[in-house]
Chains A and B, each alone.
Chain A
Amino acid sequence: MPEKKPKKSELDVAKSFAELESIAEWFEQGESDLDVGLKKYERAMELAEVLRERLEHAENKITEIQKKHSNS
């Protein structure tokens, strides 16, 4: 199976959500490094905001792919 290439300049909902979940887990483990915690918190809020924005305001985009008659 071919490996998936990451898409540029596009929000990957799956990856962002997974990252957010991993941050939540990090906090759940009761880590107490405040500096790291603040950085992770900032990142989490950033991810959540982007995801929320996407889930609330993005449109589903429909594009019709034209048939190529020469296609075998």
Chain B
Amino acid sequence: MTVFSVTDFIAHINDVLARSWDAEELCVEGEVSGFRVSQGQWVNFDLKDDQGLVNIFMTVWQLRVPVEDGMKVRVFGTPRIYPKFGKFSITANRVELVGEGALKKALAALKARLEAEGLFDPSRKRALPVFPNRIALIASRESAAYGDFIRIINERWRGLEIHTYHVKVQGMGADEDIVKAIQAANARSASGSDEYDALVITRGGGSLEEMMAFNSELIVRAIHSSKIPTLVGIGHERDLSLAELAADVRGSTPTDCARRLVPDRIDVLRDLAHHTEKIENQLLETISSKKELIKRALRAPALWLSVQRQQLEQLASRAESNVQQWLKTLSDRLRNHVRLLASLDPKGVLNRGYAILRSTSGKTLTSVAGLSVGQPITIVLRDGEADARLEQIRQANKAKQQKLL
């Protein structure tokens, strides 16, 4: 016979219970009743069904879903007797809500609380860089989401460095796994060895229950406090997960995530070609305008010279025509003079039948005064001279003469 002390007995029973109960695999499902939190840190409630009841004990930090009386939950933990009071309870490390209705209700409550705290505030959302060089990808390696994401990245972009953080995306511990990956990526980026331009978290679609990890408060807070801009995309869900609401940028599917992360290189190559073409054209234009400038500069002296030459020619031709004119005027005047002189030539008068009388001394006689009868004179005619003597002298009446004049 073995005799146990009370303390030993309880220790023994607890040991047996711990060995026979696999806390990872087994859980108890029932309805919550008498839910209370004491001293802000201890959670106590009863889990019951129609015929049974068991007490549940846990810390508030382990309770990650909003629980209230009447809810159906699954409790994971270790059954044990609390030695001091001999009270049997399950020391829970995790509580899950059961049923879509309860999940939705809990989710709505959590969303409202986090929203009030400003975790989804659009004003604090950061833009992703247009051309990321290196990113952290948090996804399940085996998932279609991962495959889709990588495929689209490879289609669209080149030279991107992707660091994958393989995580569980659903089931027990998925939220913690993802949170650790977010923290690890941030730590790596902050250390400066591998700086990330973006943090991508993606998974395919699923039921609300499968998606619960992405509605966990832990993940929302981790995404919210990520120093790396976040891009979260979860496939084909009607309702947005809280993780997506907390992200800087949201993709509707893993494929959409990839499209939002990198531009299409075809577009970028086109832009590139456009830019270089523009630059080339502008440079050629500058060169040709310089050439034109030089050509103009070289042409200027020749132009000046030809203008000078032209002016010279004009002047010369003007001078020539003026000289001609002057000469003509001169010769006209000369001709007039000659004509005048010709009319004054006494020979002309002789031709018309007049005669010139000269004294023997050769003096032309124009008056009877001083003449004497018998005085020899010479008569000059058109074609010769004849000597004669004056026979009579008659002086013309002066008054009559005057009158005649």
Contact = CB atoms under 8 A, between A and B. Distances in A.
Given A5-B195, A34-B286, A65-B164, A28 B275 contact: no
A63 B161 contact: yes
Given A44-B279, A55-B158, A55-B159, A63 B164 contact: yes
B130 interface: yes
B141 A64 contact: yes
B148 to A, nearest CB: 14
B184 interface: yes
B278 A28 contact: yes
Contacts of B190: 2
A59 B265 CA distance: 13
Interface in B144-202: 150, 153-154, 157-166, 180-181, 183-185, 188, 190, 192, 195
Interface in A15-72: 17, 20-21, 23-24, 27-28, 30-32, 34, 37-38, 40-41, 44-45, 48, 51-52, 54-65, 67-68, 71-72
A32 B286 contact: yes
B290 A34 contact: yes
Contacts of B183: 71-72
Interface residues on A, range: 35 or more
Given A17-B131, A59-B159, A64 B164 contact: yes
A21, A57, A64 — most chain B CB neighbours (10 Å): A64
Contacts of A23: 275, 279
B275 A48 contact: yes
A72 B187 CA distance: 12
Interface of B: 129-131, 133, 136, 141, 150, 153-154, 157-166, 180-181, 183-185, 188, 190, 192, 195, 227, 265, 268-269, 272, 275-276, 278-280, 282-283, 286-287, 289-290
25 contacts: A7-B195, A13-B133, A17-B268, A23-B279, A27-B282, A32-B286, A34-B287, A34-B290, A41-B279, A45-B279, A51-B272, A54-B158, A55-B265, A55-B272, A58-B159, A59-B158, A60-B154, A60-B157, A60-B160, A61-B160, A62-B162, A62-B164, A63-B163, A68-B184, A71-B183
**Top 8 A-B residue pairs of the complex, sorted by shortest distance between their CB atoms:** A58-B159, A27-B282, A13-B131, A14-B131, A58-B158, A55-B265, A24-B275, A48-B276
